[in-house]
């Protein structure tokens, strides 16, 4: 049988490749973004209780209403958003699924979507499988800020959407108020949607506020804003998230959703509906993860890596030009095999393979994991 691939340039993701190498060589995996410490026992207890209480059948297609109500309360508390939980919130199997469904809801063949690189690796395949074209704009190295003049030059009558990601994966960069003003000027008066990837909303550091698009009614009216419970509560394996969008946009989102996942794992939704009421559980996350970032920075000071700035997410990037002039993929593979620490080459987040000789570390790990990894990297 012959199949004409809709994604002919797509192979195995870099996360699968590097995690596989880490397993093969018994390396510490600072590549893929997942914690190695336990999540909240209270939250897992609530899931178990929900199963014992009989919440084991399908939840409603858009999500368990008490959970959607808790999300709406949280969005109002944090961002001042007045949401209709019935019409503007859908529970999804993870943030990546929410991004795909949002793009699929709006894209038609020939549309263009502005994507900033380095970019989370699902964006471009999601665009291309819908017959649309990614318009790639590099973030300005080394602080990875947006070049808004380049954005303005890239806008055409085929521009359907702009992808925003803050805090940013893989770099840890964050959107500032001046970026919001620039974004507003770019989309004003144009039929351009915004897909806002905010899965790291609670992992933002240095007392910088998270500028969710839920804060800005004029921008929200054209936006799909995507979130992740997995990143928030250190349970990435749950694959549970949600999308918030104005009712007319969510109506189209749900048309896609209902014929894919249809509904998500009910016991976790029931548990999260109650757990979200505890504000401190998510308000404390930034300081918790910042301590890990700062500890990792301290551990890495004696090495020959030069860490770049990270204001959010699980990640921090590093230059290694004082160690080697290898390409970042070759370097990442070598240190996995020879030094027992797996990282992600940042060139993997560029369609062109642009290589600034930078690798990404995940610091969302136990202290002893970070200590052991830094000790090995000190030998480089």
pLDDT of residue 10: 86
Q: Cβ-count burial of 28 within 10 angstroms (0-12 exposed, 13-18 middle, 19+ buried)?
A: buried
**Average pLDDT in the 205-234 region?**
97
11 pLDDT higher than 90: no
- Lowest-pLDDT range, 8-12, 195-199, 221-225, 376-380? 8-12
245 pLDDT higher than 90: yes
- For 310-373, give the DSSP string: --BSSEEEEE-TTT--S-HHHHHHHHHHHHSEE-EEGGGGSTT----SEEEEE--S-HHHHHHH
- Dihedral Cα 341, 16, 263, 160, nearest 10 deg: 100
**Average pLDDT in the 354-362 region?**
97
pLDDT of residue 203: 96
12 pLDDT higher than 90: no
Q: What is the mean pLDDT of the chain?
A: 97
Instruction: Express each pLDDT in 30-67 by its tens digit.
Output: 998 889 999 999 999 999 999 999 999 999 999 999 99
**Pairing, β 223-228 against β 341-342:** unpaired
pTM of the model: 0.96
Instruction: Express each pLDDT in 293-305 by its tens digit.
Output: 999 999 999 999 9
| Domain 41-277: which CATH number of 3.40.390.10, 3.40.1190.10, 3.40.50.300, 3.40.640.10 | 3.40.640.10
| Domain 14-39+283-377: which CATH number of 1.10.10.10, 3.90.1180.10, 3.90.1150.10, 3.30.1330.10 | 3.90.1150.10
Categorize the per-residue pLDDT at 9 as very low, low, confident or very high, splitting at 50, 70 and 90: confident
pLDDT of residue 120: 95
**131 torsion bin: left (phi>0), alpha (psi -120 to 50), beta (else):** left
pLDDT of residue 277: 96
Domain-by-domain residue ranges, the chain? 14-39+283-377, 41-277
Q: Cβ-count burial of 248 within 10 angstroms (0-12 exposed, 13-18 middle, 19+ buried)?
A: exposed
Q: What percentage of the chain reaches a pLDDT higher than 90? A: 96
Categorize the per-residue pLDDT at 77 as very low, low, confident or very high, splitting at 50, 70 and 90: very high
Instruction: Express each pLDDT in 165-188 by its tens digit.
Output: 999 999 999 999 999 999 999 999
Q: What percentage of the chain reaches a pLDDT higher than 70? A: 100
pLDDT of residue 338: 97
Instruction: Express each pLDDT in 103-144 by its tens digit.
Output: 999 999 999 999 999 999 999 999 999 999 999 999 999 999
Categorize the per-residue pLDDT at 13 as very low, low, confident or very high, splitting at 50, 70 and 90: confident
Token pair in block for residue 65: 């209403």
Token pair in block for residue 290: 């910042």
């Amino acid at each position: 049988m012959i199949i004409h691939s809709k994604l002919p340039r797509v192979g195995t993701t870099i996360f699968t490749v590097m995690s596989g190498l880490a397993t093969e060589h018994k390396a510490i995996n600072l590549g893929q973004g997942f914690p190695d410490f336990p999540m909240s026992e209270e939250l897992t207890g609530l899931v178990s209780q929900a199963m014992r209480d009989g919440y084991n059948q399908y939840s409603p297609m858009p999500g368990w209403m008490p959970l959607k109500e808790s999300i709406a309360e949280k969005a109002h508390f944090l961002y001042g958003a007045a949401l209709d939980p019935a019409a503007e919130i859908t529970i999804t199997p993870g943030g990546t699924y929410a991004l795909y469904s949002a793009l699929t809801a709006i894209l038609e063949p020939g549309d263009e979507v502005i994507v900033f690189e380095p970019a989370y690796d699902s964006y471009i395949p999601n665009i291309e499988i819908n017959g649309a074209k990614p318009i790639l704009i590099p973030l300005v190295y080394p602080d990875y800020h947006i070049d808004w003049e380049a954005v303005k030059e890239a806008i055409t009558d085929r521009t359907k959407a702009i992808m925003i990601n803050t805090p940013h994966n893989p770099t840890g960069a964050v959107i500032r108020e001046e970026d919001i003003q620039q974004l507003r000027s770019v989309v004003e008066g144009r039929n351009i949607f915004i897909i806002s990837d905010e899965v790291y909303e609670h992992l933002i550091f240095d007392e910088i506020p998270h500028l969710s698009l839920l804060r800005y009614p004029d921008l929200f009216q054209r936006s799909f804003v995507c979130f992740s419970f997995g990143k928030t509560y250190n349970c990435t394996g749950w694959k549970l998230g949600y999308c918030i969008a104005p009712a007319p946009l969510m109506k189209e989102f749900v048309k896609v959703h209902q014929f894919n996942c249809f509904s998500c794992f009910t016991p976790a939704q029931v548990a999260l509906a109650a757990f979200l009421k505890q504000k401190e559980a998510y308000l404390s996350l930034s300081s918790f993860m910042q301590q890990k970032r700062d500890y990792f920075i301290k551990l890495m000071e004696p090495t020959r890596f030069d860490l770049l700035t990270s204001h959010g997410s699980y990640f921090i990037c590093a230059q290694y030009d004082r160690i080697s002039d290898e390409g970042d993929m070759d370097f990442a593979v070598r240190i996995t095999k020879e030094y027992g620490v797996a990282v992600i080459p940042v060139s993997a987040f560029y369609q062109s393979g642009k290589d600034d000789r930078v690798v990404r570390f995940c610091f969302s790990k136990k202290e002893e994991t970070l200590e052991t990894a830094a000790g090995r990297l000190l030998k480089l």
